[in-house]
Every structure is written in C-alpha cells, then in structure tokens.
Amino acid sequence: MERLSRGFVTWVNPFNRSLQFISFERAKVFVFWSKNPLPLIRYLPELDDRRLTYYFHYTLNDYERERLEPGVPPIEERIATFKLLSSKLGKHRVIWRFDPLMLTDDLSPEQLVAKVKRIGDEVAPYTEKLVFSFADIEPYRKVQNNLRRTGTEYREFSPALMTDIAGKIANLGRLWGIKVSTCAESIDLAALGIEHNRCIDDALILRLAGNDPVIRHLYGDDGEVQSEFLALEANPGSRNKDPGQREACGCVFSKDIGQYNTCPHLCLYCYANTSAAAVRGNFAAATRETLRAYCEGKMGKPSAYGRHRTSSPSAKLPRGAGGWRGFTA
C-alpha cells in the first residue's frame, strides 16, 4: 500500500535483471494472486476509495501432510479467510485455484482428488470458478533441487493421467455448480467441460468495470487498441491476448509487478524462489521498509473490512500476501 501511495513501484525483470519503474497514475485494475490475502483485507477500502477495480486468485491447496508449502497458514485458517474475502467482495471476485496439482510417491492421484474435494466442499459456495494446472517440474532445475533437498520424490503427469484426474475434477465442479478451467495448459480438455482460463480476464474485468469508458475502450468492441497499449503486435489468435506471455497462457494484456525471491511461503514447487536464504534476505529488507512506512503514517488506516487485529506494529506487516498484476490505460 505504501507503493500505491507513492504512485509507482520498481520491478526487476527476472530474466535480464533490468530495472523498470511502473507508474500507477493511470492504473485501473489490479489482479491479486495469493495464498494468504488476510493481511491485505483491511486495506481494501483504500483501493475502493481510489476507485480501483480488483479481484483475487486465491490459491488454496492442501499439501500440509506433504509439507510442500511450509510457510502458509493452516488449511482451516486459509479456508476461513477465503470465506471472509468472498463475503466482503462477492464470490465472482474470489477465484479458487488448486494450483498446481502435484503428485509424489506419498500422494496418489486418488488422494489428490480427495484433497480437491475436501476444500471444494467448503469453498464452492463462495466462488464461481476453480482453476488448476499440472505441476511442471522437469523444466525447472531449481525446483528439482528444492524437492530433492527435502527428500520429496515427485511424479510427472502423463496425458492419460491428466485426462483422468481432470475428468474427476470436472465432475466435482458440476456437483458444486462452479466452472472448472485450466491455467496455461496446452492439453485440450474441452470434451470434459473444462476451458482454458484467462486469469487476467477481459470478460470479468468488463463485468466489474464495464461502465468505465477506458475499460470499455481497452476490452470492448470499439477498436483495436492492444498494439497502441503495449507497442507490440497483437496475437492473431486473440485480440486481447498478452503477447508477452507463453503460448498456452490465455491472459489478456497487463503488467506483472510480482517479484522473484520475495515470497516467504517457500513452496517447494515454486520456480520464482532461488533459495530460502535469498527470500529471507529480501523479505527482511522489505519488512523494514514497510514498518518504517507504517510508523511514518504512510500505510493508511486499518478498517473493519477484515478481522486481523494486534497491538504489535511489527505483527501487522504482511506475511507473504502474494503477487499482483495490473494495467494502466
């Protein structure tokens, strides 16, 4: 929130290490990815006051027994937070992600689907969509190393296994009455009723902010604007698809401002963290800056939006609240 008040954020490209300054002057929409948005909830009225549109991708997995997500709160707390957030924003603004689906020698396909069902039985009334993907481990050497260090033997998904698990999840989605989609997966599961998702979703953005003429111009039917917006040629397969994303990604154009080596959840399958030591160093530095901003009164006032209360200023700092993406117009 201090960055938002400042009016810009610095972002380091994870591939070439170049530094960019991202202005919020004309920001319209923020899309949050998080495994623990509770620390952010009390600041959402400030986003409302700024007339910003936002929604959440809430990753709610259950890998507690497998210890794949050592830094996240207990599953029951995360389920309660999901329900709280949905009750505040509406279920269309809180998208449930079980992401990634992961198999190990101690976690069978049947057990994995049972985990999805357990969470879905709790949160399905509080969302309209479930998004999932299949873990890709082989392309990421550092992920392999993280798993190997903890003695975790992972299993890759074959196309047949993907289809089988997806079919069972699709059946659960129909039982719950919610949509089921995949994120950045090339496999075609349309026969099962599973679509390729757009996580940065122009249809949802128009639903939330379609009265804004700038939003209508960007994502509506009143002209080609993507090349003007990004100074890049539009993907011929989709008028609004972000050309900076991989081919299987359906997201429309946006600007990612999430940062590598900053999330203290330390999920073993995460490709965005190089090491726990790098994360702790970066997070400690960010925490010191956030605490300084809080003490100087630059963080805004807490509200009754959320239930997080404490008398300790340091305990009020965000605990790995996740990544966010947005766009300017």
Mean pLDDT, residues 319-328 taken together:
42
pLDDT at 222: 54
Which alpha helices (H) appear in 18-158, and where do they start and end?
38-41, 44-49, 75-89, 109-123, 141-149
Q: 296: exposed, middle or buried (C-beta count within 10 Å: 0-12, 13-18, 19+)?
A: exposed
Q: Are strands 323-328 and 255-256 parallel, antiparallel or unpaired?
A: antiparallel
Residues 6+ apart with CB under 8 A from 210: 216, 220
**What's the pLDDT tens digit per position in 32-53?**
999 999 999 999 999 999 999 9
- As a whole-number percent, the residues of the chain with pLDDT over 90 amount to 64
Arithmetic mean of pLDDT over the chain: 84
Q: pTM for the whole thing?
A: 0.84
**What's the pLDDT tens digit per position in 63-88?**
999 999 999 999 999 999 999 999 99
Query: Quick check: 125 pLDDT over 50?
Result: yes
**What's the pLDDT tens digit per position in 262-307?**
899 999 999 988 888 888 888 788 776 665 654 555 544 433 333 3
The larger pLDDT score, comparing residue 291 to residue 166, is at 166
Residue 2 Cα to chain centre, angstroms: 20
Query: Quick check: 116 pLDDT over 80?
Result: yes
Q: In the beta sheet, which residues pair with residue 94?
A: 56
Max mean pLDDT range (143-147, 164-168, 302-306): 164-168
pLDDT at 325: 54
Radius of gyration of the chain (CA): 20
pLDDT at 292: 61
pLDDT at 286: 73
Of 28-32, 124-128, 163-167, 322-326, the poorest mean pLDDT is in 322-326
**What's the pLDDT tens digit per position in 206-243?**
999 999 999 988 887 654 444 344 433 333 345 688 88
Which alpha helices (H) appear in 152-201, and where do they start and end?
159-176
**Secondary structure (3-state) at 129:** strand
Q: Where are the domains of the chain?
A: 2-200+254-328
